[in-house]
Structure 1
Amino acid sequence: MMLVLTASMAISAPISVVDGSGHRVELQQPARRVVALAPDIVENLYAVGSGDRIVGRVSYSDYPDAARSIPLVGDYQRFNTETILSLRPDLVIAWFEGNPQAQLRTLEGFGLKVVRLSSKRIQSIPDNLRLLGQLTGNDAQAQVQASAFEARLRALKPEAGAVPTLFYQLWDNPLLTVSDDALIGEAIGFCGARNPFGDRPEAAPQVSLEAVLAVAPDLIVSTDEVGGGWQERWESWSVLPAVRNGALYSLHADLIHRPTPRFLDGVQALCEAVVDVRQRMKR
């Protein structure tokens, strides 16, 4: 009888976490009905074994395939409060840097628990996996996933060498890139390249064509999200070392833009591009 009582108390022990915004959030028990307000949050919940807890998602939450059948509540910038309330969630998990804070406060005003996750650093990925496991009672699987991520990240670190200048084209029109105050910006440094716009205060600064020509990147990296033809548009600027060396690389956007375990696939491709350019610079 005492053993049963002890187990019951352990299962119902309150959960207290400090989220990515620095706020403490407490749950009386692991969340069973979760609304996830970013595609990476959905993916990470599945990764820690809690995909079956998700009752609402935002658009583009399409991985794994099972996520596509979860009811939509809007997109990450504008979600429907009434729809979320109708799903009776015991937890809403939000993207601190992306979801509108006013709408999140509205949800809290209706009595919903809201946890905000930050995803600006590579280390935030395993940290968030552990946090999601804690919130949903799947600590063990979350720990396995987080530790595997950290081990693979260490293994991906390339050897030191020449430091090429890498221009990351986040978007085409307007021409957007990333600063070091962004997940991709950190990945550029991790792979041993220099981000010429790393010191910009915005996470996704707009730059001019003239500014890119002035920094003379050794390689230009973009994604399939930008669409076809971006490489051909750069090829007319033969003054660029990246163009002369044929160093225009396209990555899969979901792998390099989403802070999930798959992000390391994107980092690996990015590091391979940097290593390739180092070899080309020797010729």
Structure 2
Amino acid sequence: MRKILVFILTLALLFAFTACQTQQPAAPAPIEQPAADTKIEITDLKGRKVTLVKIPERIVSLSPGNTEILYAVGAGDKVVGVTSFDDYPAEVKDVEKIGTFEGPNLELIQKADPDVVLAGGYIQEDLIASLEQLNIPVVSTEATDFNSIFDSIALIGKLSGNDQKAEEVVKGMKDKIAEIQDKVKGQTPKSVFYVVWTDPLTTAGSGTFINDVIKAAGGTNTAEKVAYWAKYSTEELIKDNPDYLLSSVFASNEGVTADFYKESPIFKNLDSVKNSRVYLMSDDNVISRPGPRIVQAIEEIAKVLHGDVIK
């Protein structure tokens, strides 16, 4: 009995010794790494340097063009405030409205608690200053000419954390434009006058994206000799006598139709009107908003000017 007891104790000691030998030391606690710098430093389209402390999760857009870009690059879920003019894409109708493009409401913007506000054109300069006094970061992202539309998309993609999608959008636009221009290459350019407003007669001159849209579509803008959005004399228009007269329905407070131009004492003497070469854009927004849908405007105008090669 004693031998058995000694044997059992020996086995127990041997097992304990072996366990001690095979037991692995505890892994050291991981060293906590410092948080990565999430700051975003950008230069906006007005040349202002802006630093955001992080990729924004809540964005207020002060122009329809900015809003369309935000949705196009995949940042629509971050939009918490838009103007009453913003109507594309359809999802934007459910987003809180913070006033009009010309007169955004400062209190409503504050209430939306944005991480950043994307501003529109120079018309919003005073508002930008007021927002910055409230320590709300503001980035001017709305393009004023054709090429800066691509810059606007890239900028909004970067600040929203959607760089890759923004690159895809820009590439898709450029590929489509190249396709259209390849089709109209070799065609005789048609002269075009674009009516922005009927009274006073206002048009889009050099330095506007509408000017570049007309040229990309295989046309020449008879008003390129004036700069930006300019009033234009009826005498000069009659002397230009363009091949085509383009307009939108919203070229006057009452709205316009092709018959309006036929009956107008100013326009009815133009060859374009006499020969029924007056065209109203199917959607004014595709040509008046500097965003991804500008490509649709190029294709639409190209079909009007060169319908024999673009169907």
Partner of 1:233: 260
Q: Does 1:258 align with 2:282?
A: no
Larger radius of gyration: 2
Give the stretch that moved more between structures: 61-70 or 209-218. 209-218
2:146 is the counterpart of 1:122: yes
The residue that corresponds to 1:73 in the other structure is 98
The one-letter code sitting in structure 2 at the alignment partner of 1:189 is: K
Q: Which moved more, 1:152-161 or 1:176-185?
A: 152-161
Is 1:151 matched up with 2:178?
A: no
| Structure 1 residue 5, shift from structure 2 partner | 5.1
Matching residue of 2:45: 20
Structure 2 letter corresponding to 1:121: D
TM-superposed CA distance for 1:86, in Å, is 1.6
Counterpart for residue 274 of structure 2? 244
Which whole-Å CA distance do the structure 2 matches of 1:29 and 1:4 have between them? 21
Deviations 1:192-231 (A, max 9, x none): 3222221213x22122333321211111001122365442
* Larger displacement relative to structure 2 (118-127 or 210-219): 118-127
What is the letter of the counterpart of residue 125 of structure 1?
A: I
Among 192, 195, 217, the residue aligned to 1:169: 195
* 8 Å CA contact 1:196, 1:215 repeated in 2: yes
- Amino acid across the alignment from 1:247: R
Q: Deviations over 1:63-94 (max 9, x none)?
A: 11110111111111111111111221110101
Partner of 2:162: 138
| CA distance in 2 between partners of 1:248 and 1:64 (Å) | 29
Is the CA contact (8 Å cut-off) linking 1:21 and 1:96 kept in structure 2?
no
Taking the TM superposition and a 5 Å limit, the aligned residue runs for 1:78-97 are 78-97=103-122
| Shift in CA distance, 4/55, structure 1 to aligned 2, threshold 3 Å | farther
State the 1:42 CA deviation: 0.8
> Contact (CA 8 Å) 2:249, 2:257: kept in 1 or not?
no
Q: CA deviation at 1:122?
A: 2.1
CA–CA distance in 2 between the matches of 1:37 and 1:44? Answer: 12
Equivalent residue for 1:45?
70
Structure 1 residue 174 displacement after superposition:
2.4
| Partner AA of 1:156 in structure 2 | I
Does structure 2 retain, via aligned residues, the 8 Å contact 1:218–1:277?
A: no
The Cα shift of 1:102 comes to 1.2
- CA 235–69 in structure 1, closer or farther in 2 if over 3 Å, else same: same
Contact 2:142 2:290 (8 Å CA) reproduced: no
Give me the whole-angstrom Cα distance separating, in 2, the residues matched to 1:124 and 1:208.
Answer: 29
Structure 1 pair 207–2 and aligned structure 2 pair: CA distance change class (3 A) = farther
Amino acid at match of 2:238: L
CA contact (8 A) 1:164 1:277 kept: no
Checking the alignment, whether the CA contact within 8 Å between 1:58 and 1:72 is kept in structure 2 is yes
Question: 1:172·1:230 contact (CA, 8 Å) conserved in 2?
Answer: no
Residue in structure 2 matched with residue 190 of structure 1 by the alignment: 216
How many pairs does the alignment contain?
A: 274
Query: CA contact under 8 A between 1:41 and 1:93: conserved in structure 2?
Result: yes
Extract structure 1 runs of 4+ deviating beyond 4 A: 1-6
Return closer, same or farther for 1:113/1:220 CA change in 2, 3 Å cut-off. Answer: same
Structure 1: tracts of 5 or more residues without a match: 279-283
> Which residue of 58, 82, 103 corresponds with 1:33?
58
Deviations 1:5-53 (A, max 9, x none): 59x62xx532111110011111121111111000111111011111111
CA RMSD of aligned residues (A): 2.4
Change (3 A) 1:187 1:62: same
Q: What is the alpha-carbon distance in structure 1 between the residues aligned to residue 234 and residue 30 of structure 2?
A: 72
- Paired amino acid for 1:95: G
